[in-house]
Structure 1
Amino acid sequence: MALPLARPTKKRNDPLNPRASKTLLIVMMLYALYTLVPLVWLLFSSTKTQSGLFSSFGLWFADDFAFFDNLVATFSYRDGIFLRWLGNTLLYVVVGAGGATLLATMAGYGLAKFRFPGRRAVFAVVLGAVAVPGTALAVPTFLLFSELGLTNTPWAIIIPSLVSPFGLYLIWTYAVDAIPEELMEAARLDGASEVRIFFSVTLRLLAPGIVTVALFAVVATWNNYFLPLIMLSEPDWYPLTVGLNQWNAASVGAGAQPVQHLVITGALITIIPLVAAFLFMQRFWQSGLSAGSVKQ
């Protein structure tokens, strides 16, 4: 007599388990709600006047739609200094984040494909630098730049932004599997120099990783607040983060002109380039994170 086959029991950790799927769905919905509510509030608040911010429901429009008026007022307030702050932020991102991406790519490629004494020590230093938060180095960096006379200049923001230990480590680990040794040897046999191999062969193979590092560097530089706050005292060199906070601080106090509606509109303008960068580079970013994780 044949014994009946036992039905397979679904484990709690099985992703096909209906209970687990529902739990994950609820968690992700709550996380999405937590992420999107501030953005939705920002969108609705940017359409309100100063009085409408406090007299209407935050997640809906007010009686007066003042988005375009707020937009014009933001760019014209205090002789259009918002536009100057936007230009400063773009300068710090293009030079600082762009330079950090280039240096991380060159250093990561060299550490991944060349053998030299002290390579393990460099690896340990890079890992240690990744673990150190940037805020812990802000005060020592300020003291160093103060001795050099570089505070209150764009170099006080650009030079520290050029250092990206995480970007270097990411390119290092990505280049190990992304660049075949046989391809490099074939290029050397054809008479190509190491510089030509890097710019003609390596950069194309490292493109997904480079885009990933660039995206992280752009976001970090664009949102940088603490370093410019202690390094800069001249408003003409402020980035958007520090400048908008100055507007908000100036709105509080007796006799101050409240401009919270301009601060909110400026914050909305500030996040638009980052959202556009994420949407544009999303496919490169995802491939850069996953490439090399599965060995061919």
Structure 2
Amino acid sequence: MSATTTSESLTPRAPAPVRAAAPTPQRGPRPGRILLIASLAIAACYFLLPVYWLIIAATKTTAKVYGSSGLWFDSPQLLHNLGQVLTYDDGIYLHWVLNSLLYAGVGGLLATLLAAAAGFALAKYRFRGREAAFKAVLAGVLLPHTALALPLYLLFNKMGLTNTYWAILIPSLVSPFGVYLCRIFAESAVDDTLLEAARVDGAHEGRIFFGLVLRIMSPALVTVFLFQFVGIWNNYFLPLVMLSDDRKYPITLGLTTWQAAQDRLPELVQYTIGGAFLSVIPLAVAMLVLQRYWRTGLTEGSVKG
């Protein structure tokens, strides 16, 4: 090896120049994404426009409801209008609110508990006729509530329960969709080994269900309660068939009676609008508070681990 070669090998080489990375071209939003966002925006406007009109109309007088633009304020007096709604006919609207809270709150809570028990039993216990019972539940999901109103009326009339709170509460305890959802959720979320461990420790079935299973199934239970609460709150046909005392009416049926009497009492136009505005508030609060549990309950039980 020559001295020249050795010196060249020992001489440090200058580092190669670093090339700047070519800027990544920014891609615009895909057409499919733009179409999706536009569709969702149109759907949101479609569903929110009646609510917006209701808010605007609740601030107007009866004359201004028909004599001004329906999409903008005109001499707003919301508090005065709502005060008239709450005090009309000795405060009968407050009776309707309490009745709706009773029907939807108690009925939704008990229906959720029964659906959880039935769904857990169908998912984790082996007994004869289990699949037949589950198919009957699925058939119940397909039946419209209006088709059952007349048979229920005839049955309750023979029992002497028509025009009572029980005539609305007892049918509200049945939730076929809740049973279906609780079974699907229990099959994937409640581990069999956990149940066996609890039985080995000496826990009886009631303690296992109320102390362990209900906690695990809480996302699904919140979902069932929300659906049942909204369904009972908006129910109109069953109270129409069962009730004759206006002091036992829910909000939906009570507002309909006001609407039917608008020809004789024009001020009931504004009272009906104000009452409808107030009736939306509990549903909106329930949706906002339980929204995260609602999404979790719909998705978590649908995929098995």
TM-score of the pair, normalised by structure 2: 0.89
What's the offset of the Cα at 1:27?
Answer: 1.5
What's the offset of the Cα at 1:99?
Answer: 1.1
* 1:146-178 deviation per Cα after TM superposition (whole angstroms, max 9, x unaligned): 111111111110010011111011101110011
Distance, in Å, in 2 between the alignment partners of 1:25 and 1:283 is 22
Match of 2:273 in 1: 264
Match of 1:290 in 2: 299
Match of 1:180 in 2: 191
- Contact map agreement 2:99 2:248 (CA 8 A) in 1: yes
Match of 1:34 in 2: 46
Q: What amino acid sits opposite 1:210 in the alignment?
A: L
Q: What amino acid sits opposite 1:274 in the alignment?
A: L
Q: What amino acid sits opposite 2:258 in the alignment?
A: W
- Contact map agreement 2:184 2:302 (CA 8 A) in 1: no
**C-alpha RMSD of matched pairs (Å):** 1.2
Find out whether 1:50 has 2:62 as its counterpart: yes
Q: What amino acid sits opposite 2:58 in the alignment?
A: S
Percent identity, aligned pairs only, is: 49
Match of 1:232 in 2: 243
Match of 1:278 in 2: 287
Find out whether 1:66 has 2:77 as its counterpart: yes
Matches within 5 A, 1:6-17: none
- Contact map agreement 2:122 2:130 (CA 8 A) in 1: yes
Larger Rg, first or second structure (1 or 2)? 2
Match of 1:246 in 2: 257
Say which is worse superposed, 141-150 or 43-52, in terms of deviation. 141-150
Distance, in Å, in 2 between the alignment partners of 1:169 and 1:17 is 40
Distance, in Å, in 1 between the alignment partners of 2:131 and 2:120 is 15
Q: What amino acid sits opposite 2:210 in the alignment?
A: F
Q: What amino acid sits opposite 1:279 in the alignment?
A: L
Match of 2:126 in 1: 115
- Contact map agreement 2:85 2:271 (CA 8 A) in 1: yes
Distance, in Å, in 2 between the alignment partners of 1:74 and 1:17 is 49
Structure 1 residue runs of 5 or longer lacking an equivalent are 1-15
Matches within 5 A, 1:68-217: 68-217=79-228
Distance, in Å, in 1 between the alignment partners of 2:231 and 2:139 is 19
Paired residues, number = 278
Structure 2 residue runs of 5 or longer lacking an equivalent are 1-27
TM-score of the pair, normalised by structure 1: 0.91
What's the offset of the Cα at 1:17?
Answer: 7.9
* 1:81-117 deviation per Cα after TM superposition (whole angstroms, max 9, x unaligned): 0001111111111221111111111111111110000
Distance, in Å, in 1 between the alignment partners of 2:292 and 2:275 is 29
